[in-house]
Amino acid sequence: MSVVLATDRLRLEIARRGWSHADLARAARVSAPTITAAMAGRPVAARTLRRIAMALAEAVPVPGVDSILP
């Protein structure tokens, strides 16, 4: 099964943590091209979704960043 992620939300969550796409790939233990594909709106495996979600859940957003993000 594959899923398409909400790219705007994913960008926001990456920014909230002060990460780059490469940082997310490392934390989620997936390849950088996989993150690039997800960011482009292409489907990713359900396993990849779980890895991305867990990496984001484990990382604390940068304090105060929500006040400057849209």
Mean pLDDT across 52-57: 98
Closest CA to 5 of 23, 26, 24: 24
pLDDT digits (tens, 9 = 90+) for 19-53: 999 999 999 999 999 999 999 999 999 999 999 99
pLDDT on residue 28: 98
Mean pLDDT across 53-62: 96
Closest CA to 59 of 24, 32, 20: 24
- The answer, yes or no, to whether residue 18 has pLDDT greater than 90, is yes
- The answer, yes or no, to whether residue 66 has pLDDT greater than 90, is no
| DSSP symbols for 28-54 | HT--HHHHHHHHTT--EEHHHHHHHHH
CA 69/CA 58 separation, integer angstroms: 20
pLDDT on residue 37: 97
Full set of structural domains in the chain with CATH: 2-59 (1.10.260.40)
